[in-house]
């Protein structure tokens, strides 16, 4: 599968990166530019395979959505009380995915963890695109999607406003803000790199990058302002990220359904979000490293650190998960207890146990260093973790709706049909399509920050010597 | 202008129900009493509701998927515990007509993002079809699961010509993608209130009833104005010692009135009267 | 309104029914757009039409024979909804689901809109002129048919339609009015006649302190369910009456019982005699029966009875004790007890209890005598169809007129009526919608719907006094090519006897004359026109009358040696059909509201099913939704299993009325036709088909399908306190506020 047209260009692959080092500090700055820019021109064949597969999946989703749009949501086999199906479950999943980018780019940025530098750009892109995907589900699940703008608070001659008591309005606001901010943040952090692209591009592309780089010259004054602005944005983004998923959790915690009405939901959701986001970073890390030949930048020690971070978050999630069960178990709420027992023993029990196994047991693989450094294992484990996290969201929606306060309307064997599955699959296609396009058009590794990192490491090693 | 309106009316956008005896100052607070000892489970109310409120017949396929649109449904329970110890349901079945409880503090109202479901001054939990965007959050949050969603474009299939001539022109035919629910036959209430206002009086007790109450062969359903002390509904509520704005009734033991899932603080507008069985029989 | 020259057309205007343009306005004006009709402004509406205001007109429900008064809500010329008519003593302003669905008969998309005539294998639309030419050629002035050569087959029918049919037959020197009712009450009526001297006593349910019902589903598919329900509501108010139901399969009435007992089908009479024996222990009851009956009853000791009936012996003494304590009471026999080879004896034994308990005149009365016996309904039976079938088989019948009856669908397999129909040279059906029988006829004439036609009706069950129910059009006819039954009959009669009928230009004129002629009976001083208008406005002409006295014929009760039911090794299960209050014998299966109205006990819709007791199901490893083959000696049907606790364990039950093959989009293909598995068992006394005596065997087919029902995976309240039950001695009903008063 190796795309071997130009052997000299792929020399980098064979270059040895010392195991203990996050990055080879000897690497020349020009080489960094060259490597990253090359990734934007000639990726491996696998890139196209992934891109076309995504496009195909996306088309499936589009077909299903058109079918559903024309016929009504009944086409998706939704019913009373299974009113949401996979749509809202997958919506939470994608919102969760969006947290990793902020974690790596903003939280680790202000904590000066510089190992994040080669990987934060794609993580940040992941944030943006998964938010866009999540937003799609908000639209897809609406009965009258053509009236979606009623949720937005806009002045109008009828003096009608959205209902500010509704968590869905909070949702729309929070997601809108978060999406805007993360696009700005992603773009802002990319400006110095876009200038490099501009300087190396020709023709139409040059104009494109010239426009996007917004006159970046790399002057001292520009860098100084850039640093302040970037730090400010990072600080702004962190509470947003936490609030977005807390608000998504409020959709449920604020409601009255047994199994949803739990105060620990916001931290539980945030932890779950970070968890699935980190797992997704591992997956994409491995894919990008291979597809774009980023072995020199996306090094094993960085993967190792990401895995350790993931494990820590997995344990936080497990803890909060246990709190959820325990509060239902010890609480005086008979309805919530019955709902919990139904999850563990009812129709969806296999999925519930699978979720607990995948979410709490499988991460222990990450404890072993040898496994952490084994790429195929990590690929499988990271995917499994995200399957577990998706199941978690499925477990939040479906069994709860199946087993509410009113026994007459319990459902025994409700399962999503092909339309729902098609749209969910389509969302994965949409996400990876956008992501792959991004990596092709924009530098997926931050050139200027890697240079900084290399410089700092070089200075540090010189100081040690 | 609308922003100033928003600021001016901010407090009205906040949910403060149930006001303590809020309805007492008003002319109307619609409420219901359903006597489970009189209900025979005959389904006359259900069909009357289909006729009055343009409910679509969804057909076998959709019904099997749980997409039925009956605003009032008759639930049939078998006894639990002692009653079912033997081989047979010795005390018969237990029928429960379940419709929107028109909660004074309705869980559906707070969560609707667009305010399509809201509380009217006369105590109805109303649904504005034009405003509904179909998020179904209200249904997910309804403890009684009495909200029905238009999963399909029923107007195209439920009334083949000339069945559509039967449609009640006072009631909207709902398109796909909106939520609907029992309205306490708001079209009848509005008409009666308008008539009464023209004549400068309050709607008299029994002047207007819901379609289900009107049809019920055993008169198990009583409908009326709780704000009118002399109405049968108000007197029954009082006699049964049910207070609208209370989540736990302190009442005498031998009173039959109760409200369903009251402890969730939904403050329902429907009082059920306990089924009676002769234990000597 | 007092203009005596008012004609039908003006009359409709007066009714507020404007032209077709207004009828269609507001619901898609395609005919207006196409120029077929003129746009009519609402600014100048027809007289009595106020746009946006619904007007109510009284009429009579014809969905069953109860004769409930109804009110039709009409707006802009469209009939929208039916309500009960408060002026009707029978309905009391209430209405059942079946009655509500009457508008769907009228608006049914599968209505027959033109006459149809047979051409080879199929029916082809023809013009009315052609159809009437064919009809009059056969049945008009030149017809040579007479006597048994002509037969009219109808369902239960009353009023002036019945009179006109009789007159038509009379012009052929025939009395061959065959009334067929697949769910006929013949056996029970015969028993009442024998024991009480009347066929249909009036039940004073509200006056009883205890009702003991042997499979009588008076709240469901009884003779007058709306009226009975109102009575039942009063019965349940203070002092609250107690209802005990004994039956093999729980009916809607059984579901409302204070105590429900399962009994082996057919042994109800034994149980009743056991009770009689037990009651006769009390001195004051001893005189009720003759000494030899009392002596014979001694064989019915409680252990024997218990063994035969499958009801615990203590239950017998307990019920007897309650009957003794709570007087007046009422003992009812129902179809489940009557539909057996010894069904008459069962019913008589049950009625004997009323004699012993002296309920006569207290909770049981005779109906007031009817001043117009020619208008009272003829009750149908299966026996009538069997006899017609014999005549048809013998080739005696030359012309057959079918109205409101569908024997091809409802006749059991051993009455091969469908096959024999071809032996009748001329078969004509009058229908509102094509059904299985009409499709086999040579000529089918489309009738006006009951919402478009005039008529008079007399209910078979007259609870108080006598009601003559008036049916009037609630709106303009939907289809120009439909005609009223009365008009067609009148046309034929004019051919037969021109002189006698020339005074009546149409059925409206006939019925108006007929009703106003009855004025003296109602002792009113108003003018003829006012009388007629009042009749139309009220929808009912009521006449008070004293209830007739009941007789006592305890000797009619046969007290043999207690017989247990013979079991059949080949067909080990008792088969108990269930009659749904709305679908009845299947004639209403074409109404979508009723198809989607869940069966009260199983909550199943749009289907047939097999009710089976959970313990039996467990033994046979049957789960809900398993498709079972229910096979009797005469046929077999397949349906999904439904586990139902309210049924005798060695009994299965299936609903009647589903399984149509040619009755429109809402009926066809829904469920199976259980009429086709009835065994040829007949009541020994009346010769009527015994509907509850079939034996079947259950076979699993290995297939499975989801049961379409409203009920979820649990039928329990899971501790939620949704339906709360209070003991009767605790409830203080007398202190409650109630609209329903004595």
Q: Is the pLDDT of residue B80 over 80?
A: no
CB contact under 8 A, A155 and B75: no
Average pLDDT (B272-281) is: 91
A88-102, C114-128, C248-262: which has the minimum mean pLDDT? A88-102
What pLDDT, on the 0 to 100 scale, is given for residue C51? 77
- Distance between CA atoms of C101 and C63, rounded to whole angstroms? 8
Q: Compare CB distances from B135 to A78, A142, A255 and report the shortest one's residue.
A: A142
Alpha helix stretches (DSSP H) within chain B: 2-8, 10-13, 44-52, 59-64, 107-111, 137-141, 186-198, 211-215, 232-239
Quick one: tokens of A352? 């519930």
Residue with the bigger pLDDT between A9 and C548: it is C548
Chains interfacing with B (3 or more CB pairs < 8 Å): A, C
CB atoms A142 and B133 under 8 Å: yes
Residue C152: phi and psi, rounded to 5, are -115, 125
Quick one: pLDDT at residue A2? Answer: 40
Contact of C200 with C223, CB cutoff 8 Å: yes
Q: Give the whole-number percent of chain B exceeding pLDDT 70.
A: 91
Burial B118-127, CB ≥16 within 10 A → b, else e: bbbebbbbbb
Q: In sequence order, what are the beta bridge partners of C150?
A: C399
Which chain C residues in 246-285 lie under 8 Å from chain B, judged by CB atoms? 250, 252-262
Q: What does the pLDDT read at residue A303?
A: 87
- pLDDT confidence bin for C30, thresholds 50/70/90: low
Task: Check if the beta carbon of residue A395 is closer than 8 Å to that of residue A351.
Answer: yes
The pLDDT score that the predictor gives to residue C15 is 42
Taking 50 as the threshold, does the pLDDT of residue A144 lie above it?
yes
Question: How far, in Å, CA of A458 to CA of A25, rounded?
Answer: 5
Contact between chains at A255 and B98 (C-beta distance less than 8 A) = no
Contact B77 C723 (CB under 8 A): yes
How high is the pLDDT of residue C379? 87
H helix and E strand count, chain A: 18, 0
Alpha-carbon dihedral of residues C548, C554, C556, C557, nearest 10 degrees? 130
Residue A193 has pLDDT above 60, yes or no: yes
Query: What is residue C47's predicted lDDT score, i.e. its pLDDT?
Result: 65
Mutate which of B32, B47, B274 to test chain C, going by most C C-beta atoms within 10 A? B47
Which of A64-78, A398-412, B11-25, B149-163 comes out lowest in average pLDDT? B11-25
Chain C residues inside the 8 Å CB shell of B86: none
Chain C residue numbers touching A409 (CB-CB < 8 A)? 712
The answer to whether residue B141 neighbours chain C at the CB level (below 8 Å) is no
Task: For domain A26-454, give the CATH number.
Answer: 1.20.1630.10
Average of per-residue pLDDT values in chain A: 87
Which of C712, C717, C722 is facing A412, going by the closest CB pair? C712
| Among A245, A296, A228, A253, residue whose Cα is nearest residue A95 | A245
Q: Are residues A182 and A101 in contact, defined by beta-carbon separation less than 8 angstroms?
A: yes
Structure tokens at A146: 């053509």
Mean pLDDT of A278-299: 86
CB C320 within 8 A of CB C279: yes
Say which of A334, A410, A413 has its CB closest to residue C719.
Answer: A334
- What number is the average pLDDT over the span C382-403? 91
Q: How far is residue A118 CA from its own chain's centroid?
A: 17
Section A83-97 average pLDDT? 92
pLDDT score at A296: 80
Residue C121 reports pLDDT greater than 80: yes
Across the interface, of A334, A405, A410, the residue whose CB is closest to C712 is A410
Taking an 8 Å cut-off on Cβ atoms, the answer to whether B164 and C28 are in contact is yes
The pLDDT of A398-404, averaged and rounded, is: 92
- Cα–Cα distance measured from residue C154 to residue C177, given in angstroms and rounded to the nearest whole number: 8
Q: Using CA atoms of C320, C322, C328, C329 in order, give the dihedral in degrees to the nearest 10.
A: -70
Rounded CA separation C414/C386 (Å): 9
Residue B24's pLDDT is what?
55
| Ranges of each domain in chain C | 116-176+380-446, 202-365, 573-704
- Residue extents of the structural domains in chain A: 26-454
User: What pLDDT is recorded for position C113?
Assistant: 94
DSSP state of B234: H
Query: C593: which chain B residues are within 8 Å (Cβ-Cβ)?
Result: 47, 50-51, 57
| Interval C675-680 mean pLDDT | 94
Instruction: Kindly state the DSSP code that residue A294 receives in the 8-state scheme.
Output: -
Give residue ranges of A with CB < 8 Å to any C CB: 334, 338, 405-413
Name chain A's partners: 3 or more CB pairs within 8 A.
B, C
CATH class, domain C116-176+380-446, is alpha beta
Cα gap C117→C444, rounded to integer Å: 6
Mutual orientation of helices A418-441 and A117-140 as an angle, nearest 10°?
Answer: 150
Tens-digit pLDDT profile for residues B86-115 = 889 999 999 999 999 999 888 998 899 998
**What pLDDT does C43 receive?**
58
B155 touches chain C (CB under 8 A): no
Q: Are B207 and B215 in contact (CB under 8 A)?
A: no
Give the pLDDT confidence of B181-237 residue by residue, as tens digits.
999 999 999 999 999 999 999 999 999 999 999 999 999 999 999 988 899 999 999
Any idea which fold C573-704 has? Barwin-like endoglucanases (2.40.40)
pLDDT at position B204, please? 93
* A104, A114 contact by CB (below 8 A): no
Compute the average pLDDT of residues C142-158: 88
Partners of residue A81 in chain C, C-beta under 8 Å: none
Please give the angle made by the CA atoms of A353, A354 and A358, to the nearest 5 degrees.
Answer: 120
Cβ distance of C100 and B214 shorter than 8 Å: no
* No. of helices (H) and no. of strands (E), chain B: 9, 11
Higher pLDDT, C495 or A106: C495
The three-state secondary structure class of C456 is strand
Mean pLDDT of the region A124-143 = 91
**What pLDDT score was predicted for residue A20?**
65
DSSP C199-241: SSPEE-GGG-SEEEEES--TTTTSSSHHHHHHHHHHHHSSSPP
Interchain pair C592, B64: CB under 8 A? no
Q: In this complex, do B115 and A148 lie within 8 Å of one another by their Cβ atoms?
A: no
**Contact yes or no for C710/B62 (Cβ under 8 A):** no
The CA distance from A400 to A397, in Å, is: 6
pLDDT at C38: 61
Residues 432-451 of chain C with CB under 8 A from chain B are: none
> For residue A7, what pLDDT band results from cuts at 50, 70 and 90?
very low
Decide if pLDDT at C380 tops 90: no
Share of chain A above pLDDT 90, in %: 45
Q: Which of B192, B217, B279 to mutate to test the interface with C (most CBs of C within 10 A)?
A: B217
Q: Looking at the predicted structure, is the pLDDT value of residue C27 above 70?
A: no
Question: Which of C239, A166, A266 minimizes the C-alpha distance to B106?
Answer: A166
Q: Choose among A283, A274, A280: nearest CA to A238.
A: A274
| pLDDT of C31 strictly over 70 | no
What crossing angle do the helices spanning C343-356 and C186-196 adopt, rounded to 10°?
40
**Does position C577 have pLDDT exceeding 90, yes or no?**
yes
Residues paired with C626 in a beta bridge:
C704
**Mean local confidence (pLDDT), A18-46:** 77
Q: Which of A158-167, B189-198, C713-722 has the highest mean pLDDT?
A: B189-198
Are the beta carbons of C115 and C434 closer than 8 angstroms?
A: no
Q: Which of A125-134, A328-337, B137-146 has the lowest mean pLDDT?
A: A328-337
Mean pLDDT of chain C: 88
- Parallel, antiparallel, or unpaired: how do β-strands C725-727 and B275-277 relate? parallel
Counting residues of chain C whose pLDDT is more than 70, the rounded percentage is 93
Chain C: partners with 3+ C-beta pairs within 8 Å: A, B
The Cα C702–Cα C551 span in angstroms is 56
pLDDT above 80 for A103: no
**pLDDT reported for residue C203:** 93
3-state secondary structure of B95: strand
C713 and A405 within 8 Å at the Cβ level: the answer is no
Which of C107, C219, C603 is opposite residue B40, by nearest beta carbon? C219
- Overall average pLDDT of the A370-374 stretch: 86
Highest mean pLDDT among A13-27, A52-66, A295-309, C38-52: A52-66
Q: Name the band, by pLDDT with cuts 50, 70 and 90, for residue B14.
A: low
pLDDT digits (tens, 9 = 90+) for C404-463: 999 999 999 999 988 888 889 999 999 999 999 999 999 999 999 999 999 999 999 998
Q: Which of A25-34, C369-378, C569-578, C596-605 has the lowest mean pLDDT?
A: A25-34
Nearest CA in chain B to A169: B113
State ipTM: 0.92
What average pLDDT score do residues A22-28 get? 75
| Rg for chain B, CA atoms, rounded | 20
Edge-to-edge strands, sheet with C466-471: C455-457, C466-471, C540-543
Inter-axis angle of helices A167-200 and A29-39, nearest 10 = 120
Band (pLDDT 50/70/90 cuts) for residue A10 is: very low
> In the prediction, which pLDDT does A305 show?
86
Report the C-alpha gap between A72 and C199 in whole angstroms. 56
Domain boundaries B17-273, CATH class: alpha beta
CATH 3.40.50.970 fits C202-365, yes or no: no
């Amino acid at each position: 599968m190796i795309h071997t047209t130009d052997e000299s260009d792929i020399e980098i692959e064979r270059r040895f990166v010392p195991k203990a080092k996050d990055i080879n500090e000897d690497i020349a700055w020009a080489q960094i530019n060259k490597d990253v820019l090359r990734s934007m021109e000639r990726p491996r064949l696998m890139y196209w395979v992934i891109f076309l597969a995504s496009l195909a999946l996306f088309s499936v989703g589009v077909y299903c959505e058109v079918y559903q749009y024309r016929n009504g949501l009944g086409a998706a086999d939704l019913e009373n009380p299974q009113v949401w199906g996979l749509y809202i479950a997958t919506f939470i999943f994608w919102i969760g995915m969006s947290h990793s980018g902020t974690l790596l780019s903003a939280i680790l940025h202000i904590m000066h963890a510089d190992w994040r530098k080669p990987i934060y750009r794609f993580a940040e892109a992941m944030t943006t695109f998964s938010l866009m995907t999540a937003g799609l589900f908000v639209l897809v699940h609406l009965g009258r999607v053509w009236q979606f703008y009623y949720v937005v608070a806009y002045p109008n001659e009828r003096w009608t406003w959205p209902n500010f008591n509704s968590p869905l309005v909070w949702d729309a606001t929070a997601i809108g803000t978060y999406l805007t901010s993360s696009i700005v943040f992603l773009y802002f952090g990319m400006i110095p790199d876009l200038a490099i692209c501009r300087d190396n591009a020709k023709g139409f592309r040059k104009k494109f990058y010239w426009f996007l780089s917004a006159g970046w010259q790399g002057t001292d004054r520009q860098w100084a302002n850039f640093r302040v602005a970037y730090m400010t944005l990072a600080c702004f983004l962190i509470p947003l990220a936490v609030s977005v998923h807390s608000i998504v959790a409020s959709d449920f915690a604020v409601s009255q359904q047994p199994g949803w009405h739990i105060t620990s939901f916001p931290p539980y959701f945030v932890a779950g979000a970070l968890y699935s986001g980190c797992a997704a970073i591992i997956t994409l890390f491995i894919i990008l490293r291979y597809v774009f030949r980023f072995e020199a930048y996306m090094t094993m020690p960085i993967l190792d650190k990401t895995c350790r971070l993931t494990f820590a978050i997995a344990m936080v999630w497990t803890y909060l998960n246990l709190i959820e069960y325990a509060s239902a178990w010890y609480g005086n709420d008979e309805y919530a207890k019955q709902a919990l027992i139904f999850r563990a023993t009812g129709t969806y029990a296999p999925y519930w146990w699978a979720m607990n196994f995948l979410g709490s047991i499988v991460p222990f693989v990450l404890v072993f260093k040898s496994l952490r450094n084994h790429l195929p294992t990590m690929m499988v484990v990271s995917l499994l973790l995200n399957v577990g996290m998706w199941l978690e969201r499925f477990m939040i929606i479906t069994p709860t709706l199946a087993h509410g306060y009113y026994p007459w309307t319990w459902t025994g064997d409700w399962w999503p049909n092909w339309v729902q599955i098609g749209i969910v699959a389509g969302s994965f296609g949409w996400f990876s399509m956008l992501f792959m396009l991004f990596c092709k058009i924009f530098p997926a590794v931050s050139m200027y920050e890697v240079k900084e990192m290399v410089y700092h490491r070089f200075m540090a090693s010189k100081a040690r010597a | 202008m609308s922003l100033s309106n928003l600021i001016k009316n901010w407090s009205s956008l906040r949910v403060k129900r149930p006001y303590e005896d809020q309805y007492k100052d008003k002319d109307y607070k619609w409420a219901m009493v359903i006597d489970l000892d009189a209900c025979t489970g005959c389904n006359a109310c259900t069909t009357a509701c289909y006729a009055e409120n343009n409910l679509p017949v969804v057909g076998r396929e959709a019904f099997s998927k749980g997409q039925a649109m009956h605003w009032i449904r008759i639930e049939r329970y078998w006894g639990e515990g002692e009653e079912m110890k033997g081989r047979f349901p010795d005390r018969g079945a237990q029928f429960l007509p379940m419709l929107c409880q028109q909660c004074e503090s309705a869980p559906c109202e707070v969560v609707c993002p667009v305010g399509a479901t809201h509380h009217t001054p006369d105590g109805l939990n109303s649904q504005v079809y034009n405003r509904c965007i179909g998020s179904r959050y209200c249904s997910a949050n309804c403890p009684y699961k009495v909200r029905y969603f238009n999963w399909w474009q029923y107007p195209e299939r439920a009334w083949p010509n000339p069945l559509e001539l039967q449609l009640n022109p006072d009631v909207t035919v709902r398109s796909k993608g909106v939520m609907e629910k029992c309205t306490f036959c708001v079209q009848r209430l509005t008409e009666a209130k308008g008539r009464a206002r023209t004549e400068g009086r309050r709607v008299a007790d029994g002047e207007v009833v819901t379609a289900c109450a009107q049809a019920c062969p055993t008169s198990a359903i009583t409908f009326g104005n709780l704000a009118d002390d002399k109405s049968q509904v108000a007197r029954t509520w009082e006699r049964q010692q049910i207070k609208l704005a209370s989540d736990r009734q302190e009442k005498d033991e031998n009173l039959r009135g109760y409200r369903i899932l009251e402890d969730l603080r939904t403050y329902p507008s429907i009082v059920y009267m306990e089924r009676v069985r002769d234990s000597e029989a | 309104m007092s203009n005596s020259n008012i004609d039908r057309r003006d009359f409709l205007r007066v009714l507020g029914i404007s032209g077709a343009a207004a009828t269609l306005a507001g619901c898609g004006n395609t005919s207006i757009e196409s120029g077929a009709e003129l746009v009519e402004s609402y600014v100048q509406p027809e007289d009595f039409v106020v746009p946006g205001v619904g007007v109510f007109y009284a009429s009579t429900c014809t969905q069953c024979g109860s004769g409930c008064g109804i009110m039709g809500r009409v707006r802009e010329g469209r009939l929208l909804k039916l309500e009960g008519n408060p002026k009707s003593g029978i309905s009391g302003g209430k209405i059942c689901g079946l009655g509500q669905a009457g508008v769907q008969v009228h608006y049914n998309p599968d209505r027959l809109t033109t006459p149809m005539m047979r051409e080879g294998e199929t029916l082809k639309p023809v013009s009315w002129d052609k159809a009437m030419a064919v009809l009059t050629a056969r049945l008009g002035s030149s017809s040579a048919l007479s006597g048994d050569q002509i037969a009219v087959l109808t369902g239960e029918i009353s009023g002036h339609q019945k009179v006109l049919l009789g007159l038509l037959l009379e012009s052929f020197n025939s009395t061959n009015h065959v009334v067929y009712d697949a769910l006929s009450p013949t056996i029970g009526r015969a028993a009442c006649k024998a024991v009480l001297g009347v066929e249909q006593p009036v039940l004073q349910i509200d006056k009883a302190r205890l009702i003991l019902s042997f499979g009588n589903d008076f709240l469901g598919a009884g003779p007058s369910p709306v009226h009975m329900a109102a009575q039942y509501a009063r019965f349940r108010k203070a002092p609250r009456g107690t209802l005990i139901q004994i039956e093999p399969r729980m009916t809607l009435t059984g579901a409302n019982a204070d105590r429900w007992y399962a009994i082996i089908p057919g042994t109800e009479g034994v149980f009743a005699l056991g009770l009689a024996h037990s009651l006769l222990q009390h001195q004051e009851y001893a005189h009720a029966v003759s000494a030899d009956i009392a002596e014979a009853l001694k064989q019915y000791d409680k252990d024997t009875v218990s063994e035969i009936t499958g009801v615990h012996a203590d239950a017998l003494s307990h019920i007897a004790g309650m009957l003794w304590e709570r007087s007046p009471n009422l003992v009812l026999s129902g179809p489940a007890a009557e539909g057996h080879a010894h069904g008459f004896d069962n019913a008589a034994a049950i009625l004997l209890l009323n004699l012993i308990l002296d309920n006569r005149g207290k909770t049981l009365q005779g109906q007031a005598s009817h001043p117009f016996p020619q208008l009272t309904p003829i009750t149908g039976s299966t026996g009538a169809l069997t006899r017609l079938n014999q005549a048809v088989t013998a080739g005696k019948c030359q012309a057959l007129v079918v109205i409101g009856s569908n024997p091809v669908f409802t006749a059991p397999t051993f009455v091969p009526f469908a096959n024999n129909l071809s032996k009748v040279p001329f078969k004509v059906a009058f229908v509102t919608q094509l059904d299985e029988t009409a499709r086999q006829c040579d000529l089918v004439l489309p009738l006006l719907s009951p919402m478009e036609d005039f008529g008079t009706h007399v209910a078979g069950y007259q609870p108080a006094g006598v009601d003559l129910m008036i049916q009037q059009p609630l709106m303009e006819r939907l289809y120009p090519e439909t005609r009223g039954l009365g008009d067609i009959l009148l046309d034929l009669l004019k051919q037969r006897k021109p002189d006698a009928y020339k005074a009546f230009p149409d059925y409206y004129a006939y019925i108006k004359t007929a009703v106003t002629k009855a004025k003296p009976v109602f002792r009113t001083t108003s003018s003829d026109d006012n009388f007629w208008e009042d009749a139309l406005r009220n929808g009912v002409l009521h006449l008070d009358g004293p209830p007739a006295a009941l007789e006592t014929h305890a000797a009619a009760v046969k007290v043999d040696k207690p017989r247990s039911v013979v079991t059949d090794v080949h067909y080990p299960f008792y088969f108990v059909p269930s009659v749904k209050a709305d679908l009845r014998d299947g004639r209403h299966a074409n109404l979508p509201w009723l198809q989607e109205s869940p069966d009260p006990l199983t909550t199943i819709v749009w289907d047939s099913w097999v009710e089976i007791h959970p313990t039996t199901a467990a033994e046979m490893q049957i789960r809900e939704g398993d498709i079972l083959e229910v096979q009797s000696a005469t046929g077999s049907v397949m349906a999904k299993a439904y586990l139902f606790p309210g049924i005798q364990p060695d009994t299965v039950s299936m609903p009647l009325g589903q399984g149509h093959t040619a009755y429109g989009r809402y009926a066809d293909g829904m469920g199976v036709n259980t009429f086709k598995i009835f065994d040829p068992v007949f009541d020994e006394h009346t010769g009527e088909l015994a509907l509850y005596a079939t034996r079947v065997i259950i076979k699993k087919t290995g297939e499975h399908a989801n049961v379409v029902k409203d009920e979820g995976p649990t039928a329990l309240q899971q501790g939620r306190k949704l339906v709360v039950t209070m003991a009767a001695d605790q409830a203080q009903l007398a202190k409650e506020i109630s609209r329903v008063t004595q």
